[in-house]
Amino acid sequence: MSTTPAPEDLRRFLDVATEAAMAGGAVLQKYWGNLSSVQEKGRSGDLVTEADRASEVDVLNVIKRHFPDHAILAEESGQLGQRDNRFLWAIDPLDGTTNYAHQYPLCAVSIGLLVAGVPTVGVVYNPILNDLYRAAKGLGATHNRQPMQVSATAQLSDSLLVTGFAYDRRETSDNNYAEFCHLTHLTQGVRRGGSASIDLAHVACGCLDGYWERGLSPWDLAAGAVLVEEAGGQLSAYDGSPFDIYSGRLVATNGPLHQLIVQELAKVQPLPQFKPA
C-alpha cells in the first residue's frame, strides 16, 4: 500500500509549504543588509542571525496553524512533536546564513515534508532573487510556476557540478577537499554555492548537472530532494545505495551522470596536507 497521500492532499501540503516559505522569505527581505547580530553556534563558520530566528517563527506559525498535529524538525527550534509522526516537516528558515550575512544572494527558506520518512513535498524560496522552486511526489516540479527538468548532460567532461564543505572540515580528513579537486579536473567546473537547498534546486532546474556533499542535516535536504526527483533526477548515497536523509550525505544528479560521479567519488583519497593535526 502506497504511503503517498492523495493528489488533493499533496496540493494542499504544497500550498501551505509555499505560504510558509513566502512568509519566511518576507522576513529575510526585511533583514537583508540590516543585521544587528551575527553569532556562531559553537562551531567555526556555523552562523545564526536574528533573521534566521525571526524567519523560523513565521514559518512555524503557518505550519502549526494549518497542521497542528504534524511534527516539525527545524534548524533553530529542533524537534517539535514525535519524529515517528507520519507527517514531519523539515525546515531551514535560512539556508545559506553565511551568504546572507555577507549579502551574497544565494540563500533560501527550505521547507520539506516527510511522509512516513519519505521526502514528499518540497519548497525552496530565494527571496533575494525571487526564485520559487516547488515539487510534490507525482505532481512534477516547477521554477516560478513553470515546469522544470534536469539537464541531459551525459559526459563528465561536459558537466558543471556543485558541492559544499561542512562546518567540521577543519576537524576531519573526510572534508571534501580532495573530491572537489578530483571532480574539478574532470568537468567544466565545480561550483561552491553555500546553500544545499539552492544547489539541489539548481540541479533540478538543469543549470547544474550534479551535486554531492557531506555533513548535511535533514532540513538541508528534504525539500531539495523532492525537487530533484520530480524534475527527473536521481538521488543516492555516495556509494550508490539508497539515499538516507539522516545520513548527512547525498549525491544528486540529472541521472545520466549519476553512476559516473559515484565511481569517481569512490576513487578519491583525502589530501594529506588537510588532515587534522
- Binding-site residues, please? 75, 92, 94-95, 220
Strand stretches in the chain, DSSP E: 38-40, 47-49, 71-74, 78-80, 87-95, 108-115, 118-126, 131-136, 140-143, 146-147, 160-163, 189-192, 210-213, 234-236, 250-253
Annotated binding residues for Mg(2+), written as ranges, equal 75, 92, 94-95, 220
Q: In what order do the strands lie in the sheet with 189-192?
A: 189-192, 160-163, 210-213, 250-253, 234-236
d(CA 83, CA 86): 8
List, in order, residues 6 or more apart from 9 with CB less than 8 Å away: none
